[in-house]
Amino acid sequence: MKETIGFIGLGNMGLPMAANLAKAGYDVQGFDVVPAANEAGARLGITVRPSAVEAVKGAAIVISMLPNGKLVLELYKSGILQAARAGTLFIDSSTIDIESARAAAVLAVEGGMNNLDAPVSGGVGGAAAGTLTFMVGGGAEDFARAKPVLEAMGRRIVHCGDAGAGQAAKICNNMILGISMIAVGEAFVLAEKVGLSHQALYDVASTASGQCWSLTSYCPVPGPVPTSPANNAYKPGFAAALMLKDLRLAQEAAAAAGASTALGKHAAEIYENFVAAGQGGVDFSGIINAIRNG
- Residues in contact with ligand NAD by CB under 6 A are 8-14, 31-34, 37, 52, 65-67, 71, 75, 94-95, 120-121, 123-124, 238, 242, 245
Dihedral in degrees, nearest 10, Cα atoms 64, 69, 74, 80: 30
Q: Which CB, 56 or 89, lies closer to ligand NAD?
A: 56
Dihedral in degrees, nearest 10, Cα atoms 60, 63, 70, 68: 170
Burial of 16 (0-12, 13-18, 19+ CB in 10 A): buried
Q: Which CB, 167 or 261, lies closer to ligand NAD?
A: 167
Q: How far apart are CA 72 and CA 253, in angstroms?
A: 18
Residues 2, 57, 70, 170: which is the catalytic one? 170
Task: Please report how close the Cβ of residue 294 comes to ligand NAD at its closest, in angstroms.
Answer: 26
Residue 170 bears catalytic tag: yes
Task: Please report how close the Cβ of residue 197 comes to ligand NAD at its closest, in angstroms.
Answer: 32
Task: Please report how close the Cβ of residue 37 comes to ligand NAD at its closest, in angstroms.
Answer: 5
Q: How far apart are CA 241 and CA 196, in angstroms?
A: 31
- The residue of the chain with the least Cβ separation from ligand NAD equals 11
Q: Which CB, 165 or 205, lies closer to ligand NAD?
A: 165
Q: Which CB, 10 or 177, lies closer to ligand NAD?
A: 10
CA distances from 235 to 8, 123, 282 (A): 27, 13, 6
Task: Please report how close the Cβ of residue 10 comes to ligand NAD at its closest, in angstroms.
Answer: 6
Q: Which CB, 99 or 192, lies closer to ligand NAD?
A: 99
Task: Please report how close the Cβ of residue 52 comes to ligand NAD at its closest, in angstroms.
Answer: 5
Q: Which CB, 142 or 283, lies closer to ligand NAD?
A: 283
Task: Please report how close the Cβ of residue 192 comes to ligand NAD at its closest, in angstroms.
Answer: 29
Residues designated catalytic: 170
